[in-house]
Amino acid sequence: MATVDVTVRGAGAFGLSVAWACIKAGALVRVIDPKGVAPGASGGIVGALAPHVPEQWNPKKAYQLESLLMAADWWAEVEVAGGTSSGYARTGRLQPIADDAALALAQTRARGAETLWQGRAIWEVIAPPSDFAPRSPTGLLIHDTLSARLHPAQACAALAAAIIARGGEIAVDGRDEGHVVWATGWEGLEALTARHTRMIGAGVKGQAVLLAYDARSAPQLFVDGLHIIPHADGTTAIGSTTERDFEDPDTTDGQCDDLLAKARAAIPLLADAAEVKRWAGVRPRSRTRAPMLGRHPFDNRQFIANGGFKIGFGMAPLAAEHLSRLILTGENLIPPEFDPTASL
């Protein structure tokens, strides 16, 4: 391969997305990750691309909205280029409504969505549309049409295939050439913290369970903090835990049993679904909880794409397009709140 224009360190969701955006802009790109494609949380099984609630609007919520709205076309282009499915579909989401107070709040948010979501997606209160719906004390559900799903590991594989098909390189080792982007996940956040006087970010472990239950055309469900995601391949994912303290990033334990019991109590249709696998990984969370996108705080010649935490795949399309523009042209469209220096 000729001398590259951009070297991306990290083959997870952010790293691969930035690489793909740079390739579309005409750059020669090399992605380097000693763990291969989709390490850590990017190789997960849940993949809930769900919006923040339509209230108390801020730049992070506005940015996520734009990214979610552009995602269908963005992932379709990835799939065409590489010939591999990401599992993406904008199938919506259902949530139970616990009581009259929750119903009033849901109706207020529906009015907020009319303005904040600009008529491009709906937040509404409905009766259960099918048996694949959470039990709800009021008999009513929140339904939004903005939420989407993808299969994280499959989405990373689709990005890798697209990058290679368009002349990019993915390697486990290599030297830095051209512009350098650090998209190294939670371990990268720990490395940044080691160079600073306080914590910049850390890893938060999550565990999840995959079931053999085919509800591929149904909306995803969100029940008491639990995501239940029907995938395009005929499986259904349940997740996930949130563990700030952990010893082994990759092992599962009895918390998966708790996830499964909770999901089956909420959705009786899952009672007899066989387990396909259990999964664990660590998500990168910045100190501010915002993504870190922009120039490296300790080396202005390099760049960072990190801190996606639980919304990394949802933010990835717009974040990648904007960071690639900053890298290749110097134009900065990234909100100041996402600048890596904001997390110092």
Please name which of 310, 313, 297 lies closest in space to residue 14, comparing C-alpha atoms.
Answer: 313
Contact indicator for 27, 319 with CB cutoff of 8 Å: no
**What residues in the chain have per-residue pLDDT under 70?**
1
Architecture of the structural domain at 201-286: 2-Layer Sandwich (3.30)
- Residue 111: partners with Cβ closer than 8 Å, 6 or more residues away: none
Which residues partner with 216 through β-bridges? none
Please name which of 109, 105, 1 lies closest in space to residue 52, comparing C-alpha atoms.
Answer: 109
- Residue 329: partners with Cβ closer than 8 Å, 6 or more residues away: none
Q: Per-residue pLDDT tens for 48-65?
A: 999 999 999 999 999 999
Which residues partner with 283 through β-bridges? 204
Token duo for residue 184:
């190294």
Can you tell me the distance from the alpha carbon of 67 to that of 123, in angstroms, rounded to the nearest whole number? 18
The highest-level CATH class for domain 6-87+148-199+288-343 is alpha beta
Q: What is the pLDDT of residue 2?
A: 76
Locate the domains of the chain by residue range. 6-87+148-199+288-343, 201-286
